[in-house]
Amino acid sequence: MSHCHYHALSSVRRWGGKAEDYIALHQWFDESKKILADPRHRALRHHAEGIFMLETVFGVTIRNSDERDIPVRLIGEQHVAEDLGRIPSFADWARLIQPMPWILRGNPAGSPGLS
């Protein structure tokens, strides 16, 4: 999906309520579009840890306008799965980063643990 509004409508179909109940959570995932306006922005929050961060920001559940308590983690899983077809780990994203010399600076011979 390309817009938070459609993710929110999908949440309404799953759990009831109104799109406004869910829009802030879906916008949180896509705030990284402010710094990278293409699908690579997803590397910052569209992963398993990002879903747990969502829960830290919004709480374990939200109450929708139908007075139902909905687990925030499920809403996050819905968003990421709709965008990517699965829920990757951060390590899945990190494996795609091509280390450039400036990234390795201060880490002689690429030895781990030195920074």
Parent domain of 35 = 4-92
Helix (H) or strand (E) holding 61: strand 61-63
Record the pTM.
0.86
Number of folded domains in the chain? 1
Is 112 among the domain residues?
A: no
102 vs 41, higher pLDDT: 41
d(CA 50, CA 87): 10
pLDDT of residue 105: 82
Is 11 among the domain residues?
A: yes
pLDDT of residue 101: 86
pLDDT of residue 100: 85
Is 101 among the domain residues?
A: no
Contact yes or no for 39/68 (Cβ under 8 A): no
Contact yes or no for 92/43 (Cβ under 8 A): no
67-107 pLDDT, tens digit each: 999 999 999 999 999 999 999 999 999 999 888 888 788 76
d(CA 112, CA 115): 8
What is the share, in percent, of the chain residues with pLDDT greater than 90? 82
Is 79 among the domain residues?
A: yes
CA 32 from centroid of its chain's CA atoms: 9
Is 104 among the domain residues?
A: no
pLDDT of residue 110: 55
Helix (H) or strand (E) holding 57: helix 48-58
